[in-house]
Structure 1
Amino acid sequence: MKVVYFLVAFLALASSIAFAYDPSPLQDFCVATNEINGVFVNGKFCKNPKLVKAEDFFKHVDPGNTSNKLGSKVTPVAVTEIPGLNTLGISLARIDFAPKGLNPPHTHPRATEILIVIEGTLYVGFVASNQNNNTLFTKVLNKGDVFVFPIGLIHFQLNVGNGNAIAIAGLSSQNPGVITIANALFGSTPLISSEVLTKAFQVDNSIIDYLKKQFWYDNN
């Protein structure tokens, strides 16, 4: 009987791990297409392999425009931008920063992120979950430095150098998703009840109303 319990527990664990990340492909590629026929894999239909071309796996990325309130621009390169990424379980993003530019606190619900600084100096960090006392882990990164942000945890990057900065982020999903914390809380559609937010933040209703009226810029 103990052997049976062990096997059940092992299979449950293996199953949870298998479905925690993008599935492994069972073919060379499954280029995403907007057509509504063919094979439907991981949220996308697969393009006929005989019609696949090199351009399906290619994209040129220009520097992002940082002339905004945050002073940063994230340029994603996920399955939406490169259909050949479908089922491959990876994506990346280029992040451009003006001096003092900020990529604000956000999470990726479906991916771990690994970031390398190409130019400049960044102050980066992430916050652990409640079970780890919301511990903040931070580091100042210079050119060539690499930092990892675990899946689902709130993280940020701030340019603390005197000039522009550039970073490249690799993500462990073809479609990692992003939730910008300020936007989600104060700019949702429809808006979250002020009663909820005033109690959550333990502040006066006027402060919540003020925050809701701000223009929340999306730098993605």
Structure 2
Amino acid sequence: MHSTTVLVAAFAAAAYATPMGSGSWGSSSTGYESATWTTTTTSSYASGTGSWGSGSGSYSSSTSASVVPNPSPSSGVVAELLTADSTVSRFKDIQKEIDAGDVNLKFDFNIAANPPPAMPGKGGQVDLANRANFPILTDLGISAAAIFFNPCGLNTPHIHPRASEFLTLATDNNLLTGFVLENGLTTEFNTTLTKFQGTVFPMGSIHFQQNLDCTPAVAIAGLNSEDPGASSIAQNFFALDSEVIDATLGFPKQIDGSNFAAFKKAIPPPLVNGIEECLIRCNISY
């Protein structure tokens, strides 16, 4: 856990001191569909002069080079690293991947360096570095994510089946967080983070993060597994057999086995436009 905490602190410091990606990124009403990216030297996100996702939907920060997509590891490399005879042997294999250009010693969390999900949410994007896309993490027991929230963006309730999470807010925002632990203690644990404050989500707990502001927010998360996994509660619950869902919900009258499929289609992919009060206050259509 100590290594995870150090990792989070380092990323939070980097988010403050190092400019992030630049270019235009779809506004909160359009998501990423029309995203284009260019570099600029006109403003600094750390100083609060850049704009990202609000109003015009553009984000600018000072940078010295174009953002390059993270390399794609060669097929089967993680399996080979997991069966290496020793740590030295594993890192010799990693060195070969680096020399071939298939692995980098750094992972770029800039949105421009990571493709959006197949079904991007309107509320933002999560960029996760795990052993699959950053093989140097293999057998190290850690991973990290950068979460980019649009104004009012909500990272919907989800669990990490193989990791606890330490999340730190890197920007000058208000971020509401909460989790429910498990059966026997269903009290919701809530807190609101401001810049450089962090909180934890225990392994397997159902948790969420909600940007309460009309400006974008960025959070950095450290997880104590190189393969933490994620399962979105609402989105995946309705993937179950409709009769099982019907019984689980107590045989509701308005939503039942005959229309669960239609109801599932209405659930947006995470991240989503968040709580109604924030959307109204920030003049975001929903």
* Helix, strand or coil at the partner of 1:210: helix
Mapping of residues 100-179 of structure 1, within 5 Å: 100-119=152-171, 120-132=173-185, 134-179=186-231
Cα pair 2:123 2:270 within 8 Å, conserved = no
Partner of 1:79: 131
Query: Which residue in 2 is equivalent to 1:200?
Result: 248
The corresponding residue for 1:14 is none
Find the counterpart in structure 2 of residue 34 from structure 1.
76
Cα 1:196–1:37, aligned 2, differ >3 Å: closer, same or farther? closer
Which TM-score applies when normalising by structure 1? 0.72
Match of 1:94 in 2: 146
- SS of 1:48's equivalent in the other structure is helix
- The Cα of 1:41 is off from its aligned counterpart by 3.5
**Does structure 1 retain, via aligned residues, the 8 Å contact 2:82–2:138?**
no
Rounded Cα–Cα distance in structure 2 between residues aligned with 1:38 and 1:158? 39
Q: Runs (4+) of structure 1 moved beyond 2 Å?
A: 35-42, 45-57, 63-70, 206-210, 212-216
Distance 1:121 1:41, change over 3 A: farther
Give the deviation of 1:217 after TM superposition: 1.6
Which of 229, 237, 244 is the equivalent residue of 1:185? 237
Q: Measure the CA separation in 1 of the matches of 2:94 and 2:216.
A: 42
Which among 73, 76, 93 is matched to residue 48 of structure 1? 93
User: Are the equivalent residues in 2 in contact too, given 1:32–1:86 (CA < 8 A)?
Assistant: no
The amino acid across from 2:241 in the alignment is S
Unpaired segments ≥5 residues, structure 1: 1-30
Report the secondary structure of 1:51's partner residue. helix
Query: Matched residues in 2 for 1:176 and 1:185: separation?
Result: 19
Instruction: Give CA deviations for 1:141-196 in whole Å, capped at 9, x if unaligned.
Output: 1111100000111100001012111000000000100001112111x3xxx22221
Alpha-carbon distance between aligned partners in 2 of 1:39 and 1:73, rounded to the nearest angstrom: 29
Q: Kindly tell me: are residues 196 and 151 of structure 1, through their superposed partners in 2, closer, same or farther at Cα, counting changes over 3 Å?
A: same
When the two structures are superposed, what TM-score results if normalisation uses the length of structure 2? 0.56
Secondary structure in 2 aligned to 1:81? coil
Distance 1:177 1:170, change over 3 A: same
Gaps of 5+ in 2: 1-72, 272-286
| TM-align CA RMSD | 3.1
**One-letter amino acid matched to 2:242:** S
CA contact (8 A) 1:57 1:83 kept: no
Aligned residues: 182
Taking the aligned partners of 1:39 and 1:159, their CA distance within structure 2 comes to 38
Q: Choose between structure 1 and 2: higher strand proportion.
A: 1
